Structures are given as C-alpha cells and as structure tokens.
C-alpha cells in the first residue's frame, strides 16, 4: 500500500497562512481500479491565486472547502497505471494538490515530454508563462515603440511579460521591491526599474513615464493602478491579471478614484484568465520555447523543498522573499 501525505484545510486564514490553518495527514491509498493511475508528486507550482482559493469568496474556481486537500498545480510521475492512456514512468501535469501521491482517472492531466528541467517547464512553459503570453499579446496588443509598465515585474508572470514586451520592441518599465529583484529585471533587459521599497512608486511612475503609458500589465492592484491611470495615453490598455495586494487580506480593497481617465483617454481595462486560452496552449508553448532556446527570455526559480513546507512556501509570495517562479520540490 502507498502512503500519501497531504495538507487539508482546517481553518480559513485571515492574513498570511500558518500551519494552524491546515493539517498534514497521512493516509493509505487504496488499490488502483480500472482506468486509474497513481501519481507521485515531484514539484508543486506555488501561485498567489492559491491564497484566494482559501477564502470563502466566489471566484473563477470554487473555494477550497474545510477538510479538502489544498488545490495546486504541479508535475508528477505515473508510478502505476491501469489506464491505457498513461504508462508507468511518464511525467504528467495537472492539479496534483498539496500531497505526495494521488489516484486519478487521468482527466485534467496531460503527458509532458521531458525536454527541459521540470522547474523551467512549470515556469516559462507553464501556466505563468502562458498567462504572460496571452495577457500581453491578446489583451494588451503591444505595438513597437509603445511604453509598457508591469507591476510585480520580478515575479513569474511579470518577468516574462516584461521580456515579451522587449521582444516586441516596447519601452518597458518594471516595478518590483528590493535591490535583488530590481537587479534581476535589469538583467532581463527592462529599460526602467522602479524599486517601490526605496522610492515612492507613484512619483517614480510620473518621472520615468513622462511620455505616457500605453499598456499597464497589473499583477498587484491597489494604489499603483490609480497612479498609472493618471499617466495613460489615448487608447491605452490596462490588463488586469492579478491583485496580489488584496489576496491575503479580508478587508475590502480600495479601488482607483480616477476611472474617468479611461473615459478621457478612450482607454480600455480588461481582466482575463489563462483558462480561457487552454485550446491555444500549444501556440504559446511553441513561441515561448523558441524565445527560451534563443536566450531572449531569461528565467529564475525559487525552489523550496519538502511537503511539510507548503504553508511557508506560499507565504514567500506575500512577504517578497521570492524572485521569479515559486516552486516546491516534494
């Protein structure tokens, strides 16, 4: 019998998560039935939206319920199979959850060729990279010479957005917190870097975007959105990807007070979900792979280890400890 170790939700967090919000339990998994596969988790993708799923607020996926395993995407290895679609030893990608093993009928999992290290595939070629690709190119629609500003620019999605914008010939401004993150953005070729921990970001936005902003790729929400709206050009596009500044709080977020700027400048603000593009994933992966191989997209992963470290690894996203993609090796 295979023993599984999994984290389940016991109490909804109000701010940062702690071990007391969860319970790490051990269970024996049953024997495989026909059409089932046994997956051993190898890497978890740790993403800000997981914190939102821990609340009782409705979203694009239902909240995680008390005593349910914590939802998480990741990569795992098929270690036993009674499903003709999957063979033992194959690498698969899907919602594995905060657990070491799981039994599945295979629905929602896809086989992944091992052409690159797994962390790279979870990063640039995973949902974060695909989010960056479609969010910028399909929603933002950048044109050569335009000014693009990215919040959370040193994160997994933001850093890829910034580099795609450079590939498309844009002037790129990245907002991040701390010297190390800002140095990483400079290494990625970002034209102007704003360190919100060392300067007042709202004032710096006015200074470095003196010719206005054409695209704002927003991963953060909060006061930065309001500051950007004061600087937008005509026909600007505001791409709403995330609002990490609100995910770990139960307080109602404060919205921008200057939405009239969208009217005056005929701007557009649009939210999107990468789930809307699942039927076009191969398109994104093909382009991202080419840029990756050509050295036009750099990447970094912050890899923590151990199933026991799931809660602490999630918190790293909200305390500014990670650079690039946050990953947990099981």
β-strand 73-81 against 91-95: which pairing, if any? antiparallel
Q: What is the pLDDT of residue 250?
A: 59
Would you say residue 225 lies in a domain?
yes
Q: For the segment 112-126, what is each residue's pLDDT rounded down to a tens digit?
A: 999 899 999 999 999
Would you say residue 224 lies in a domain?
yes
Would you say residue 283 lies in a domain?
no
CATH code, domain carrying 240: 3.40.50.720
Would you say residue 196 lies in a domain?
yes
Do 154 and 41 sit in the same domain of this protein? no
Do 254 and 323 sit in the same domain of this protein? no
Q: For the segment 170-193, what is each residue's pLDDT rounded down to a tens digit?
A: 999 999 999 999 999 999 999 999
Do 91 and 230 sit in the same domain of this protein? no
Query: Is the pTM here over 0.95, yes or no?
Result: no
Average pLDDT on 310-322 reads 94
User: Looking at the 3D structure of the chain, how many domains does it have?
Assistant: 2
Do 164 and 101 sit in the same domain of this protein? no
Q: For the segment 53-62, what is each residue's pLDDT rounded down to a tens digit?
A: 999 888 889 9
Do 107 and 189 sit in the same domain of this protein? no
Do 132 and 238 sit in the same domain of this protein? yes
Do 92 and 197 sit in the same domain of this protein? no
pLDDT at 249 over 70: no
By percentage, how much of the chain surpasses pLDDT 70?
97
Would you say residue 212 lies in a domain?
yes
Do 267 and 178 sit in the same domain of this protein? yes
Average pLDDT on 315-319 reads 93
Q: What is the pLDDT of residue 195?
A: 95
Do 83 and 151 sit in the same domain of this protein? no
Q: What is the pLDDT of residue 16?
A: 93
pLDDT at 248 over 60: no
Average pLDDT on 298-327 reads 96
pLDDT at 32 over 80: yes
Average pLDDT on 195-216 reads 92
Q: Which residue has the higher pLDDT, 246 or 67?
A: 67
pLDDT band at 201; cut points 50, 70, 90 = confident
Do 148 and 194 sit in the same domain of this protein? yes
Q: For the segment 73-114, what is each residue's pLDDT rounded down to a tens digit?
A: 999 999 999 999 999 999 999 999 999 999 999 999 999 999
Q: Kindly report which listed range (97-111, 154-168, 200-214) carries the lowest average pLDDT score.
A: 200-214
Do 132 and 270 sit in the same domain of this protein? yes
Q: For the segment 286-296, what is each residue's pLDDT rounded down to a tens digit?
A: 999 999 999 99
Do 158 and 269 sit in the same domain of this protein? yes
Q: What is the pLDDT of residue 1?
A: 81
Q: What is the mean pLDDT of the chain?
A: 94
Q: What is the pLDDT of residue 156?
A: 93
Q: What is the pLDDT of residue 269?
A: 97
CATH code, domain carrying 318: 3.90.180.10
* Domain limits for position 144: 127-275
Q: What is the pLDDT of residue 246?
A: 64
Residue that finishes a domain, picked among 275, 290, 314 = 275
Would you say residue 151 lies in a domain?
yes
Would you say residue 287 lies in a domain?
no
d(CA 50, CA 114): 26
Would you say residue 293 lies in a domain?
no
């Amino acid at each position: 019998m295979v023993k599984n170790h999994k984290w389940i939700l016991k109490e909804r967090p109000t701010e940062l998560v702690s071990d007391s919000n969860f319970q790490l339990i051990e269970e024996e998994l049953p024997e495989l039935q026909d059409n089932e596969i046994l997956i051993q988790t190898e890497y978890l993708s740790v993403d800000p939206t997981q914190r939102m799923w821990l609340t009782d607020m409705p979203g694009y996926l239902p909240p995680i319920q008390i005593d349910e395993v914590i939802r998480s995407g990741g990569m795992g290895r098929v270690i036993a199979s009674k499903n003709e679609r999957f063979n033992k030893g194959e690498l698969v990608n899907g919602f594995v959850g905060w657990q070491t093993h799981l039994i599945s009928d295979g629905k929602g999992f896809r086989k992944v060729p091992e052409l690159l290290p797994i962390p790279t595939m979870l990063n640039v070629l995973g949902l974060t990279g695909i989010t960056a690709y479609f969010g910028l190119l399909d929603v933002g629609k950048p044109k050569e010479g335009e000014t693009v500003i990215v919040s959370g620019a040193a994160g997994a999605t933001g850093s890829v957005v910034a580099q795609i914008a450079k590939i498309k010939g844009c002037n790129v401004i990245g907002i991040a917190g701390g010297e190390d993150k800002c140095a990483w953005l400079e290494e990625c070729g970002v034209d102007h870097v704003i360190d919100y921990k060392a300067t007042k970001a709202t004032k710096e936005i006015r200074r470095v975007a003196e010719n206005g902003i054409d695209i704002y790729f927003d991963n953060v929400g909060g006061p930065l959105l309001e500051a950007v709206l004061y600087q937008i050009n005509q026909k600007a596009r505001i791409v709403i990807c995330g609002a990490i500044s609100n995910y770990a709080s139960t307080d109602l977020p404060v919205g921008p007070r200057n939405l009239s700027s969208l009217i005056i400048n005929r701007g557009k603000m649009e939210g999107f979900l990468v789930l809307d593009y699942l039927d076009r994933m191969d398109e994104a992966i093909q382009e991202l792979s080419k840029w990756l191989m050509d050295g036009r997209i750099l990447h970094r992963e912050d890899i923590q280890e151990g199933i026991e470290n799931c809660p602490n690894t999630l918190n790293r996203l909200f305390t500014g400890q990670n650079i690039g993609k946050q990953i947990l090796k099981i």
